[in-house]
A and B are shown apart, each in its own frame.
Chain A
Amino acid sequence: MEAGAPVHPPVPMAMYPLLATVLLTVGIVAAALFFLYQVTTTRYSRKIAFEGLLGLSASVALGLGTLFLLLWLAAPLFGSVP
């Protein structure tokens, strides 16, 4: 049975712990800034562009951070992974 070029993962697996912690840290900080912005401004002075930017970057960082956390830890803990 012939085979072609081997398939490599998009992100090297050795980087999973680093990526997970860094992305989650960045995501939590961004989420904190988002909530701070929500709390310290009134609805008359809030700018939706800034809100959107903060929210989007927080959700991207948290989403990717959770994915790498799952990839890194689910196999040793539960035996299989995404």
Chain B
Amino acid sequence: MSRLCTVLVLAACLVASAAAADFVVENASRRINLKNTWAKAIDTLKAKNTGGSDLSNFVVCYPESIASRIAVLKVLIKKEKQEVAPLQQAPQGAPAGVSCYQATFKSTVKKGATVDLDVVATVTGVFKPNPAKIAQGEKQYVEYYDNLYLLSPYEVTEQSSTVLLPTSDVRSFSPQDGGSKSGSKVSYAALGKQGPWAVQQLKVHFHHDKPFKRVNSLVREIEVSHWGNIYVEETYEIQNAGSQHTGKFSRLTYAHSPDGKTNSFPDVKAHLPAAAHSLYYKDIIGNISSSDTTHTSRETLIEVRLRYPLMGGWKTDFTLGYSVPLEGFLYRRPKGKLRLLMDLSTSFDDVWVEQLTTRVVLPEGAKHIKATLPFADIQQSWDKKFTYLDTAGRPVLVLSKSNVVPEQNKPFAVDYSFTFTGMMREPLLLISVFAAFFAAVALYNRLDFTITRDEKWQEGQAHDKALGLIQSLTEYWDREADVLDRLVRLAHSISNRPSADAAPASRQALEAELRPLDEQVGHAAV
């Protein structure tokens, strides 16, 4: 027991010391780009391996308020992506409210060598509007909070931080000393040497002139029909996540002055595939006619104007649907399988999606369904959809992901097998329904439902029998007439010696035909 304790303590010490004592960041240059409606922090680090051996793990950390909203985290060495995984627990000595990730390098860093790496984090929803509520025509000011220094378990020798803003209208930035504002840039040029876990709050309060287009939820349903089309239907709930609008809304001021619009937006633009057709844009009320579509050879650009302009805090929902042909999206794979290649997320510009659900509806009878996804944190589940001519329901693969930015709109693949006979199930179902109807009619006509078989019924039966007899007799007489007609023509056609020789044979053949007919007439008459 005590040996176990010793081993555990030793291991803990190793883990704790490993984090702090292996790298030293010689130079850290942080650029925090706030020009868009989401923040992009690019840290260019030059780290030296001062540990005792070759290392391949590097820890990057962020304050909890930023880490919980990270959409994309990339660690690049010479533009090559390295593996990044979140760490369950921050390394020893970390202050409270810090989340860390561990990057595993593809090639180890030798003892004493330096490595240049770029850490890129795209973070959504970290702008805090201040003032929280504005009237129509007022400008939108937001605050951004971060750590001034590189939040790192390693010692940092030299660092600088630069904040790039969308406008040059900055109300305040803190801390004041060390920082300088020039145009739309706030920079802290030489921050000096810092020990590990240097914490200092950075706050910038500035005017953000772009509207915050946030999609609260997006359900993207992709239905594959092997008869020729792939149907895509996207249901959006979109909200303006900027400073909230308070007070009155004047349509006149909105239309007639640029100040009446400020942080609001009336439309969103999408880049759909070039082969998209049969587009529709509607909501629960009905069709929305305010949209513009431009078809070019490379894409279909659609500008979707919302039912009303979204002022701060307002939200609306709508459905956008279109069809694309199979060519370009559905392919044959070996062993009779098929592969569907579609984009994961929305094709709208400048929006980020809080909750994305992509549903892939495959034809009924599709088997061995397997998805190849571009990200590891996409949850998969199954569902069933009943639509046209379905008996057992179509399999639906449901993919969910939260916090999706446009750069994550990558293609994904779904492999499945579906046979030609499986496709024939639909027309066969229809044909059998009609056939059953005709069979029922034929059956009904053969059944006799009279309650009393009285004289009138017997007369009717006799009448039917007579009618039947007459019909069959008529048929035989028609055929006899046809044969006799041919005999007469044969007789008339004897105009020379050779045909006269051939005639008796033909006459015999025709009379042979006549004989069974005579017999049948005789039988019928009986």
Contact = CB atoms under 8 A, between A and B. Distances in A.
B227 A45 contact: no
A14 to B, nearest CB: 10
A5 to B, nearest CB: 5
A20 to B, nearest CB: 12
Given A7-B326, A7-B332, A51-B442, A62 B227 contact: no
A42 B468 contact: yes
B431 A60 contact: yes
Interface in A19-58: 27, 31, 34-35, 38, 41-46, 48, 51, 55-56, 58
Chain B contact-residue range equals 35 or more
B327 interface: yes
B225 interface: yes
B339 to A, nearest CB: 6
Contacts of A66: 430
Given A3-B339, A4-B331, A9 B226 contact: yes
A58 B433 CA distance: 12
A63 B338 contact: no
Contacts of B237: none
B442 A13 contact: no
Contacts of B131: none
A45 B467 contact: yes
Contacts of A7: 226, 326-327, 330-332, 338
B439 interface: yes
Interface string A71-82: 100111001111
Nearest to B439: A55
B388 A6 contact: no
B468 A55 contact: no
B366 to A, nearest CB: 13
B471 interface: yes
A63 B430 contact: yes
B468 A44 contact: yes
B500 to A, nearest CB: 42
B340 to A, nearest CB: 9
Interface string B171-207: 0000000000000000000000000000000000000
Contacts of B326: 6-9
Interface string B431-452: 1111101110110011000000
A80 B438 contact: no
Contacts of B465: 42, 44
B439 to A, nearest CB: 7
Contact of A5 (B280, B331, B467): B331
B319 to A, nearest CB: 9
Contact of B435 (A46, A55, A70, A79): A55
A55 B434 CA distance: 9
B478 to A, nearest CB: 15
Contact of A79 (B233, B328, B331): B233
A6 B430 CA distance: 29
Nearest to A44: B468
B426 interface: yes
Residue among A3, A42, A74, A82 facing the most chain B CB atoms (10 A cut-off): A82
A1 B333 CA distance: 11
Contacts of A31: 438
A29 B479 CA distance: 27
B341 interface: yes
Contacts of B430: 62-64, 66-67
Nearest to B436: A59
Q: Please give me the 9 A-B residue pairs with the lowest Cβ-Cβ distance, nearest first.
A: A63-B431, A9-B228, A59-B434, A45-B468, A55-B438, A63-B430, A3-B331, A44-B468, A59-B435
Given A13-B229, A38-B441, A38-B442, 11 more contacts: A3-B333, A4-B334, A8-B327, A12-B228, A34-B441, A45-B472, A48-B442, A55-B442, A67-B426, A79-B321, A82-B426
8 contacts: A3-B341, A11-B227, A38-B442, A42-B464, A55-B439, A59-B431, A63-B431, A64-B431
